[in-house]
Amino acid sequence: MQILYVVREGFSGFRRAKLSMAAAIATVCVSLLLLGSFFILVLNANTVVESLREKVEMEAFLADYVTPIETSIVRDSIAALAGIREVRYVSKDSAAKIFKDEFGEDINTVLDFNPLPASLKIFLKDGYRNAKSAEAIYEAVRGIPGVEDVIYRKTLLEMLDKRATTFLWLVFGIGMFITLSSIFLVANTIRLAIYAKRKIIQTMKLIGATKSFVRGPFILEGLVQGFIGGALAAGVLFLVFEYLARWISVELVDFVHVKPIYYGLTVASGCLLGFIGSVISIRRFISESVVHE
């Protein structure tokens, strides 16, 4: 019986105070549009940064005197290092072919001989594509006998690490500001809706209703408002990002790629906002004296 009452009263606000309910839903929707857009762009920007890290590879050039057997030993030594995902051998002939593909000139024709050394392309594991780990691997590979030189995009990794730290702090600050602002706006909007029922709350307290019994319908109402607001926000985000994905250039499409789970999280966030807003708002009215006007 109590559950039926909570459900009935939780949905009654949608009939009795349509304007305040619409305002609460609109507030949740707008708040989640801001939060959702921000975090989707942040996550996609992080994906782009990680894709840049994946393209960072090392190349260890072998000395001319290294024999095939010694090459195999060097390769195994490098593969045994921590953080190494794959080591790929590039012969002198393969290097010449790569040169021709990239520059359109046959190195053997230009110089009458192939000056390009054989090398080992080194691919790093996730978690090791940062400046500190890459430098440690670089020093270890350079010390292996038979390795003449090692190159990798050190400057790019250092730049990504530095920018990533700054970016994380910036994201944290902006994210906290938007989140707290959203909670504040939603709580105050729901409070206006609850204010219209303050007499009912006082009457329930006078007849001995418990705080949880009084609080139940309003929390359910906030959850429903949050769900509807979240669903609307998810729908708008879907339409916006789908539209952008069709009209922007291929180079920028990664910034607007949205996984389906994000829309589900938007709806869940709406429910959470509605719940938190209801809990914050109803607390004041439950704590008031029953003789308060």
Over 50: is that where the pLDDT of 49 sits? yes
How far is residue 144's CA from residue 150's CA, in Å, rounded to a whole number?
A: 11
In the structure, what pLDDT confidence band is assigned to residue 263 with cuts at 50, 70 and 90? confident
Q: Round the average pLDDT of the chain to a whole number and report it.
A: 78
Among residues 29, 35, 47, the alpha carbon closest in space to that of 256 is found at 47
What is the 3 state secondary structure string of 180-195? HHHHHHHHHHHHHHHH
- Region 169-196: mean pLDDT is 77
Burial profile 60-90: b = 16 or more Cβ within 10 angstroms, e = fewer: bbbeeebeeeebeebbebbeebebbeebeeb
Mean pLDDT is highest, among 7-21, 27-41, 211-225, for 27-41
The two counts, helices (H) then strands (E), for the chain are 10, 4
What is the 3 state secondary structure string of 224-268? HHHHHHHHHHHHHHHHHHHHHHHHCCHHHHHHHCCCHHHHHHHHH
Domain boundaries, the chain: 2-52+160-287, 57-152
Contacts of 137 (CB under 8 A, 6+ apart): 58, 81, 82, 83, 84, 122, 124, 128
How far is residue 51's CA from residue 204's CA, in Å, rounded to a whole number?
A: 59
Strand partners, 149: 61
118 — phi, psi (to 5°)?
Answer: -70, 155
Packed helices 18-54 and 211-247: angle between N→C axes, nearest 10 degrees: 50
Share of the chain above pLDDT 90, in %: 8
pLDDT one-digit tens code per residue, 52-100? 787 778 889 988 888 888 889 999 999 999 989 989 988 877 777 776 6
| Residue 58 burial (10 A CB sphere; 0-12, 13-18, 19+) | buried
- Region 93-117: mean pLDDT is 69
pTM of the model: 0.60
How far is residue 169's CA from residue 179's CA, in Å, rounded to a whole number?
A: 15
In the structure, what pLDDT confidence band is assigned to residue 255 with cuts at 50, 70 and 90? low
In the structure, what pLDDT confidence band is assigned to residue 277 with cuts at 50, 70 and 90? confident
Q: How many Å is the Cα radius of gyration of the chain?
A: 31
H helix intervals, 143-210: 154-195, 198-206
| CATH code assigned to 57-152 | 3.30.70.3040
Longest Cα separation, the chain: 102
Question: Which token pair is 131?
Answer: 């400046």
How far is residue 144's CA from residue 76's CA, in Å, rounded to a whole number?
A: 11
How far is residue 273's CA from residue 230's CA, in Å, rounded to a whole number?
A: 9
Question: Which token pair is 143?
Answer: 């010390």
